[in-house]
Structure 1
């Protein structure tokens, strides 16, 4: 490699990155996966425009092998990421339907593609023989791009719905079947080369070695990471060496290096090691996705030449699109209907399974490298990959509109909460490490009502940028695993009081909207939220039950004081204060400006009779000024009156509030034991 070639390669890499990011940004603005813009960037640099003048000037033929080598390295890393992110738990509980949809969306397009191949081969001769060509075209028609599909579902909020889970499971099964099928096709295509045909005999021993020996050895990385407390360069080097050796092994066997990279990702340890998984993927995703894969798009685009398609090529393109779209759509729809999936959901599944994106481009590149495809047919198939991916978003929006997705999300939230409790208090936990006080207060606000439950909800904004070709969710998955552990610890106190304590936790690109939607879906009798929480106004508007506004953190002990125990909305404040006092086994003070009203005196006597020590008094007779550090929980009605100094809780009544049942609220010493 000469000095001049080195300079050109460096400039080409810079140009490719700028063009890929720019067109990727344009694609996102148009509601498309950024990978579409990057593929088009590669095509624009290819020979399609100006008879190759641009590509020959900017990317001379003598530097293309160096770019191709870097692109192949990016492909190795990406296929490892795909295998590593392929989670078998996605299929759990959905195996039968997912298998049916996957088989339908694979078998029908494969058969139609094989039939179409018998016509295409007449104008596109191949060096690998008719059988390999027919099988390859069938396999290319059958693939679904799992990473792109996962990103589409995440962007639309469908990943947590029943339909989204089923689509992910179906795509995961499809990925496994499609890659396995392609491996067989590649082996058949490579078998004709006398120098390497016998190498394929090592495929079975290789698989046995990977699952029987390499996989157990890789589990030792977990102990090494725990001992070091982080992902060390040595651990990452072990992973990279194993990855490259595995890719070399399959290339040597004639099965192509992408399968070795993919399989090494599959055998990497997963269970209970989310942190290690996250750290490895975090290191590799950015380099692969942002630097090396754009080089792959360009080297792939340099082989696309649409300038010589002509009318016969246009007819072939229409036939390819008809088989690719129709085969996938009809096959997936039939597979879903055989399992009694509703029509609208079956249509959405069929639409999603048509996503091809980068996965299709990888397969087509393999076809070119093995001389299965000529330049013209390769170009037509690339157009098919772009069209089927571009159409997925708009078609899905038409088949399964946003209002239907919102309904599914609400149903998923309700299902997560299980059987509706008689009394439900939902509280927002912005930071799990600081949520113990809220969880305790929310449990206390249930008073003696049974059955009852406290719902802990935690919505966090995505920390990882939307990676265009990977799911980009590995970081969130690892962080969520830790967050869920912290949230589960917060349920100890509610559960000790005999309360249900479901946890609703997930990532979102719009946490404020998500929390408001979650309040609507859960339909709680009460919501506990702080004034300074993000989205407070939206949560307040979405709450139809009681609204408890946390002004400041209340003390754990001391009496509970209702500031302003008379007036139109005072009853809700008294009710909340009585619940807290009964739960904590402390005294309730009904404080009013001036002389206590007869109603307060009567209510204090009645609550004392029920086992809750209660006094009615003037605010002037309170033991001391709250600002002087008096350890009391101060509760006031949310009626627009000036708040007392040191106030902890503002209470707004439910929109359809009934008369309080004091026996349920206060309970008895047996029903609501003191838990100070």
Structure 2
């Protein structure tokens, strides 16, 4: 018998636990949904056991809790459908589709293969639905959690973030479609008649062709009222619940009706209406009803019964889920020539499962496709794959690269030129910096369009001067400096590269230079080793960084690079050799032959030698500091071999 006082106490416990652990998850850098799902698991038999758990969340409480959870799930799936933005895919269709297909098919195939292996002990006589379901569960990506991860890191404004969201949107559609087929098969097998399942496809067509135009009439009604009236919200809720009931009656599942109703809601001119609907429903769904869904899901997770065999199955599930998702996404991205580092970041992001996976697993449990043990193991997989996203992303795509992408997005949004920008710091008198400007021009000429920014701060002990008496000497000095900088700019333009000059007085050259460099949002920084504030400039740079050592300006021989210096140093050496018209020399004797052969396959002739000859311009990776090095290259990653063609200088 339902006891109201126990039900109300359950609501207090659930809401408090969800808020507490959600806040804790946020503090440690995880999405709040991780803490909320963990709260549900902890309130189940895993922690409370059959005694306390039986009193608080016993069999007599289950129907009421399940009903609340189902209502929360209906509202959540409607929100997911309503927030499914078709604009995400626009302009990214081909690349996003390739990523989504790889991210779906590889884990699906591996999941289905694993299901065949597990079918004897877990399929419960439903082998086909079980195999298809495991494939669908392995290939899911949590679009809402992914959006939260990107927003927390401000990556949603970057090209990488937009591509991740577009791919996840396509994966969502694929995953729900496959799941609908699986549930339809399972429902048809369980139902006495199969004819209702056959109505699912016509029902979807009616929703898009008939219901969608009818819902579009809500927009003018909303504009006339000037607000979201109770009548308008009632129409939306009635349609939502009716759609959820219809798909449940068809033996599919009510989540598909809720998702479909959200997807057919009007988009054109309905931004404010959608925002107000979301504002009303999300508060109820996210704050109260979704935590109830987590708890009901957690009540079915019992880790106390895990055995050594269960741990082996869990290891296999994790290997398939993580390996399939990472490999499928990575190769899907690489097929569209997405750079290796960005492809790895996309793979990491799309491995996020979270809430979407829990919904899918709950459907499988309700339809009898999953048994209790496998359900518990799959929930653990969902938690682990979501929790690993943040830390792994920081490893694969560090914060400094994200900062650079955000800066590039802001620069593009402001209409600033998207040319490849090489910033060169001129630390001393500009008249002596001709070789440094030529070096920067040679590096910039590998890209088109490109520009060199010549940065120089004129020391002035009293701070920035103001126009007045007694400044004739300082103004004359600045005029002379600007003339010398313009001469350097002419050297750069002689290489077919645009050049700009930034120069001003400064009372603290070492303190202001780092801000000047960072604020210019360069793609490559070239800094002499004796530049004031060098350590700060190097530490705050978010792009490839080249340190110019003594002797670089006197070099007139070949460009040399050691075979063990990494792709980034070799890439820079190749650029300079081609741009300067000098031979390329790979150091290291016999061991250097492999790099020389690799360059030969790119059509570049490279000789080998044990030591650099006199007059050679030696390029090395930062951190190795060979005594004869003239240029030290630091990069977040080695150059992508597919991008080595960019080393060939652009011809004016």
User: Taking structure 2 as the reference length, what is the TM-score of the superposition?
Assistant: 0.65
In structure 2, the gaps of 5 or more residues are 420-451, 459-465, 475-504, 508-514, 518-652
C-alpha RMSD of the superposition: 3.0
Give the 3 Å change call, closer, same or farther, for CA 317–567 of structure 1 in structure 2: farther
Equivalent residue, structure 1, for 2:400? 403
Measure the CA separation in 2 of the matches of 1:242 and 1:294. Answer: 24
Deviation at 1:132, TM superposition (A): 0.5
Deviation at 1:566, TM superposition (A): 2.9
Equivalent residue, structure 2, for 1:561? none
1:354 to 340, 351, 354: 351
Q: Structure 1 residue 367 and structure 2 residue 371: aligned?
A: no
1:315 to 312, 317, 320: 312
Q: Structure 1 residue 221 and structure 2 residue 218: aligned?
A: yes
2:86 to 59, 80, 88: 88
Q: Deviations over 1:571-601 (max 9, x none)?
A: 99xxxxxxxxxxxxxxxxxxxxxxxxxxxxx
Measure the CA separation in 2 of the matches of 1:64 and 1:45. Answer: 13
Contact 2:123 2:130 in 1 (8 A): no
Deviation at 1:93, TM superposition (A): 0.5
SS state at 2:195 partner: helix
Q: Structure 1 residue 113 and structure 2 residue 104: aligned?
A: no
Give the 3 Å change call, closer, same or farther, for CA 420–8 of structure 1 in structure 2: same
Q: Deviations over 1:594-644 (max 9, x none)?
A: xxxxxxxxxxxxxxxxxxxxxxxxxxxxxxxxxxxxxxxxxxxx999xxxx
SS state at 2:196 partner: helix
- Report which stretch shifted further, 189-198 or 268-277: 189-198
Equivalent residue, structure 2, for 1:56? 54
Measure the CA separation in 1 of the matches of 2:73 and 2:25. Answer: 22
Measure the CA separation in 1 of the matches of 2:335 and 2:210. Answer: 40
Contact 1:190 1:196 in 2 (8 A): no
Q: Deviations over 1:444-485 (max 9, x none)?
A: xxxxxxxxxxxxxxxxxxxxxxxxxxxxxxxxxxxxxxxxxx
1:288 to 264, 285, 288: 285
Equivalent residue, structure 2, for 1:202? 199
Q: Structure 1 residue 566 and structure 2 residue 468: aligned?
A: yes
Measure the CA separation in 2 of the matches of 1:399 and 1:287. Answer: 37
Measure the CA separation in 2 of the matches of 1:161 and 1:274. Answer: 22
Q: Structure 1 residue 393 and structure 2 residue 369: aligned?
A: no
Contact 1:113 1:138 in 2 (8 A): yes
Deviation at 1:524, TM superposition (A): 13
Q: Structure 1 residue 338 and structure 2 residue 335: aligned?
A: yes
Q: Deviations over 1:522-562 (max 9, x none)?
A: x999xxxxxxxxxxxxxxxxxx99xxxxxxxxxxxxxxxxx
Equivalent residue, structure 2, for 1:384? 381
Equivalent residue, structure 1, for 2:258? 261
Contact 1:45 1:54 in 2 (8 A): no
SS state at 1:31 partner: coil
Deviation at 1:123, TM superposition (A): 1.7
Q: Structure 1 residue 231 and structure 2 residue 228: aligned?
A: yes
SS state at 2:12 partner: helix
Give the 3 Å change call, closer, same or farther, for CA 570–300 of structure 1 in structure 2: farther
Measure the CA separation in 1 of the matches of 2:154 and 2:473. Answer: 40
Contact 2:412 2:418 in 1 (8 A): no
Measure the CA separation in 2 of the matches of 1:386 and 1:108. Answer: 21
Equivalent residue, structure 2, for 1:6? 4
Equivalent residue, structure 2, for 1:532? none
Equivalent residue runs for 1:491-640 within 5 Å: 566-567=468-469
Equivalent residue, structure 1, for 2:410? 413
Measure the CA separation in 2 of the matches of 1:115 and 1:241. Answer: 42
Contact 2:191 2:251 in 1 (8 A): no
Give the 3 Å change call, closer, same or farther, for CA 125–208 of structure 1 in structure 2: closer
Measure the CA separation in 2 of the matches of 1:204 and 1:142. Answer: 23
Equivalent residue, structure 2, for 1:674? none
Q: Give the number of equivalent residue pairs.
A: 445
Equivalent residue runs for 1:144-155 within 5 Å: 144-155=141-152
Measure the CA separation in 1 of the matches of 2:142 and 2:8. Answer: 31
Deviation at 1:113, TM superposition (A): 0.4
Equivalent residue, structure 2, for 1:252? 249
Contact 1:81 1:281 in 2 (8 A): yes
Q: Deviations over 1:102-158 (max 9, x none)?
A: 11010010000000001111221425x110110000100010000000010110111
Measure the CA separation in 1 of the matches of 2:357 and 2:110. Answer: 17
- Report which stretch shifted further, 46-55 or 231-240: 46-55
User: Taking structure 1 as the reference length, what is the TM-score of the superposition?
Assistant: 0.63
Deviation at 1:11, TM superposition (A): 1.0
Equivalent residue runs for 1:146-165 within 5 Å: 146-165=143-162
Measure the CA separation in 2 of the matches of 1:655 and 1:570. Answer: 26
Equivalent residue, structure 1, for 2:501? none
